Amino acid sequence: MPDRPLAFWLTVLGGLSLVLYAVIACLSQSFSYGHGYQDRPILGFVGVYGLVFIVYAVAVWRVKRQATEAAPFTLVLIFAALFRLVVLFSEPIQEDDFYRYLWDGKVVASGLNPYRFTPREVQTDNGKEGPLQPYRELTETDARFALLLSRVNHPDVPTLYPPVAQAVFGLAALIAPGSLLALRLIFFCFDLAVCGVIVKLLCHLGRSPLWVLIYAWSPLVIKETINSSHYDVVPTFLLVLALLALVTGRLSVGFLSLGGAILGKVFPVVLLPLFAFHAWRRYGLGKACGGLVLTSLVVACGYAPFVAAGSGLWQGFVTFAEHWQTNSFVFPLLHQMVTDRWLANGIVAGCLAGAVWVALRWNREGNDVGFLRGCFFVMGTLLLLSPVGNPWYFLWVLPFVCLFPRVSWLLLSGLLGLYYTAFYFLYRGEPEMFRWVVWLEYLPFYAVLAWEARRMRMGGITLV
């Protein structure tokens, strides 16, 4: 009996996923802020997330088997949009970073500096005239923002979101002040734009555009970008745009976009040597140096409007580097061995420098595949060594997985759903139990990664 066409499988699997996302949206109604923590269906959500990931994995497998078919490519994008629309109005499940986004957005839209004062300082202001007065007035003239400010997490820390983030938050505040839906719609647009750029990268490499399904249908992307309303999709778009521009010869756009990505989140700064080296090998030393200058100017101009905040401009990032640690596997083991946090940070920095050096050696000839594969390697290394392994951070590597599909990274994107069990144990007074969950997240990933490395040494390939 002949195999059914890919369009059939995409329709069936997309429809089933749509039902499961509707279930997640229904479950989300039990996650209202400040209510019924122990009664929240956290394990139910994790279970449904696991089911939708299995359906997604089957869809990826069908694409592997039948990617050469003339399947309706628009079907992938239609379902991608439908998945996001289903959860667009859902309650955020165990996430509250968006309260900071909404507050920062109102501050920026009002012409104020979001790095200057912490939320706690605004909340505890004594009401006298002074530099805090215009910030305090935001809460006095609109009660919504008093409520938002009271829900900002880590209120004693200045915002750590860089200037591009502030621009996006400010845009949302101008469209609809204090509206989570406005933020989500902006993220939705950037999310689909990422899909579009990935398709162009796939076509540039001569690969089927159907591989965009890895990102477009990813439960991790849909949960963290739309339901959790995490902002990472914006700098991810700028990064993939920079990659596309560089491999297609538009160097100015590439280095400008890379600067924007760094202004969106500091992660992509580790790719700057790879961008410069690729530009040098392909277009000459002058072009590479010009690109470095252009990226530096973009970053400098982005921070220039906020320099009046002084040390507040960096305090949030420094606090992050000094104290935050969650859902990571390698860093806690390293920290335990060396005991000193900054020494552990230094070792991670040294390992990242080594990863950059390896990636540069891989791409000595300056070809596009080597450049993109090297960027994947460095970004993956960064995320795996980071002290903070929040699921939404791993959105950064999924565009690369579309270009170089790997079972290990696909598996990790599913296992990261276990992160939410941390709250289940926390609400029951057993937070130490989550240490074992972290092992369940990462050990299967590393086992498959080792298997893939062995296959590659033997001349085999994974998925493509």
| Residue 412 counted as domain residue | yes
| Residue 189 counted as domain residue | yes
SS3 326: strand
C-alpha dihedral sign at 405, 283, 291, 286: positive
Q: Is 18 exposed, middle or buried (0-12, 13-18, 19+ CB in 10 A)?
A: middle
Give dist(CA 136, CA 297) in Å, integer. 34
- What burial letters (b/e) apply to 87-112, b meaning 16+ CB within 10 Å? beebbbbbbebbbbbbbbbbbbbbeb
Q: Which tokens is 292 given?
A: 């470095």
State CA 126 to chain mean position distance: 38
Same structural domain, 205 and 105: no
In a structure prediction context, what are the per-residue pLDDT tens digits for the chain, which is 464 residues long? 357 888 889 999 999 999 999 999 999 999 988 777 888 999 999 999 999 999 999 999 999 887 666 667 889 999 999 999 999 999 999 999 999 999 999 999 999 999 998 999 888 877 677 788 888 888 888 888 888 899 998 889 889 899 999 999 999 999 999 999 999 999 999 999 999 999 999 999 999 999 999 999 999 999 999 999 999 999 999 999 999 999 999 999 999 999 999 999 989 999 999 999 999 998 899 999 999 999 999 999 999 999 988 887 888 777 777 777 888 999 888 988 988 888 988 999 999 999 999 999 888 777 899 999 999 999 999 999 999 999 999 999 999 999 999 999 999 999 999 999 988 988 888 878 878 889 999 999 999 999 998 887 765 444 54
Same structural domain, 140 and 42: no
| Residue 305 counted as domain residue | yes
Give dist(CA 182, CA 216) in Å, integer. 21
- Residue 122: how many CA atoms within 13 Å on its side-chain side? 31
Beta bridge partners of residue 388, listed in sequence order: 326
What per-residue confidence (pLDDT) applies to 16? Answer: 97
Same structural domain, 367 and 441: yes
What per-residue confidence (pLDDT) applies to 78? Answer: 95
Segments in 32-179 forming alpha helices (H): 42-66, 73-87, 97-109, 119-123, 133-141, 143-150, 163-175
CB within 8 A of 56, min separation 6: which ones?
Answer: 13, 17, 217, 218, 219, 414
Same structural domain, 85 and 140: no
Read off the amino acid at residue 458. M
Residue tagged 């329709």 (tokens): 11
Residue tagged 């066409």 (tokens): 5
Same structural domain, 243 and 286: yes
Same structural domain, 228 and 344: yes
Same structural domain, 45 and 170: no
Question: What global pTM score does this model have?
Answer: 0.93
Last residue of a domain, one of 181, 214, 240: 181
| Residue 205 counted as domain residue | yes
Give dist(CA 395, CA 377) in Å, integer. 14
Last residue of a domain, one of 158, 181, 204: 181
Q: Which tokens is 236 given?
A: 């991810």
Same structural domain, 261 and 347: yes
Same structural domain, 246 and 376: yes
| Residue 281 counted as domain residue | yes
Last residue of a domain, one of 181, 199, 226: 181
Same structural domain, 222 and 356: yes
| Residue 464 counted as domain residue | no
CB of 386 closer than 8 Å to CB of 335? no
Comparing CA positions, the residue from 357, 329, 351 lying closest to residue 440 is 329
CB of 405 closer than 8 Å to CB of 462? yes
Q: Which tokens is 37 given?
A: 């923590």
Same structural domain, 47 and 82: yes
CB of 195 closer than 8 Å to CB of 81? no
Owning domain of residue 106: 97-181
Query: What is the C-alpha radius of gyration for the chain, rounded to an integer number of angstroms?
Result: 22
Residue tagged 């719609």 (tokens): 185
Domain count for the chain, please give it.
2
CA distances 262 to 83, 175, 360, 385, 388, Å, are: 29, 25, 20, 19, 18
Give dist(CA 291, CA 250) in Å, integer. 11
| Residue 243 counted as domain residue | yes
CA dihedral of residues 406, 412, 417, 422 (deg, nearest 10) = -170
Same structural domain, 175 and 64: no
Give dist(CA 69, CA 7) in Å, integer. 9
